[in-house]
Amino acid sequence: MIASALSPRRYPEPRAMLRLIKPITWFPPVWAYLCGSVSAGVPLGGQWGLVLLGMILSGPIVCGMSQAANDWCDRHVDAVNEPDRPIPSGRIPGRWGLWIALAMTGLSLAVGWLLGPWGFYATVAGVIAAWAYSAEPVRLKRSGWWGPGLVGLSYEGLPWFTGAAVLLGAAPRFEVVMVALLYALGAHGIMTLNDFKALEGDRQHGVRSLPVVLGPEVAARIACTVMAMAQVLVVALLLVWGKPWQGLAVTLLIVAQFAAMRVLFRDPKGKAPWYNGTGVVLYVTGMMISAFALRGLA
């Protein structure tokens, strides 16, 4: 009985497999895809099938795949930072973590094909970005600048662009692309704050995140500055495009974020998770307001 209890697991624990693909991380790309669909200006009444399929692809499938790939490539770092995670804890044994990530890569491409050329090629880009972020020899997550930038683009900009392109069957107009890029740029700050939870393991394994290189205080100020500047530029564009009320709404959300940032700056490392649950909600609310403003330009 004791030997059985101590013997290594042969197959993954089902609950650990769900934890591996981290449902909590699906919201940003799902929301961005929905924002892109709204911003396209196409009537959604007869398109909900495409919208829902794209949201499932961007969240549970592609984002889930990226999380599995990241956990496999980060298993040594996680053994220091979070040893209870599915792979270092042994609840997903052997190379099962890699096999799950590869299987979900194939599933991503298959579902992306169902969304037509724009959806498929965007899925290819997302898959490449996911592996480039985590896997050697590229492993862009080692950089505190390139890593968060790639994730921000993949989580916010690419799904937004794809949501609009799939419904239009063509490249979205300039205004949609600009707003998607700006919110993707601002998401660099969100991803920098997300790096705070892995400070010790990142130091030991050579991941040069901004909190590691610059310290939590400076990294927090850079992250918040990037987020705020991106949104200020969105407001400026909305005013130029004749959408003052939507611009005012996003401005009020920025002001509320400034109040949350003051709390963050008092204890950047301790308050980063709180800010991700507070300031980021305000940020993504502004995304949808901007999407409806763009819809009115169509």
| Whether residue 219 sits in one domain with residue 83 | no
Count other Cβ atoms within 10 Å, centred on residue 59: 22
Establish if 7 belongs to a structural domain: no
Average pLDDT over residues 142-162: 92
Q: Is the pLDDT of residue 196 over 80?
A: no
Please give the pLDDT value at position 198.
63
CATH number of domain containing 180: 1.20.120
> What span, in angstroms and rounded, lies between the C-alpha atoms of 220 and 225?
9
Query: What tens digit of pLDDT does each residue of 173-193 get?
Result: 999 999 999 999 999 999 888
Give the total number of structural domains in the chain: 2
Mark which of 171, 190, 208 sits at the end of a domain. Answer: 171
Share the mean pLDDT of the chain.
91
> What span, in angstroms and rounded, lies between the C-alpha atoms of 25 and 122?
19
**Helix, strand or coil, per DSSP, at residue 91:** coil
In the chain the first and final C-alpha atoms are separated, in Å, by: 68
Whole-number Cα distances in Å, 240 to 97, 130, 177: 49, 35, 16
Q: Is the pLDDT of residue 99 over 50?
A: yes
Closest CA to 100 of 26, 154, 13, 21: 21
Count other Cβ atoms within 10 Å, centred on residue 156: 32
Please give the pLDDT value at position 200.
66
The two tokens of residue 287 are 């995304």
Cα 247 to its chain centre, rounded Å, is 24
Residue type, 183: Y
Establish if 116 belongs to a structural domain: yes
Residue type, 166: V
| Whether residue 191 sits in one domain with residue 153 | no
Q: Which domain holds residue 222?
A: 173-297
Mark which of 171, 198, 215 sits at the end of a domain. Answer: 171
> What span, in angstroms and rounded, lies between the C-alpha atoms of 82 and 17?
16
pLDDT band for 225, please (50, 70, 90 cuts): very high
What is the value of pTM for the model shown? Answer: 0.92
> What span, in angstroms and rounded, lies between the C-alpha atoms of 286 and 254?
9
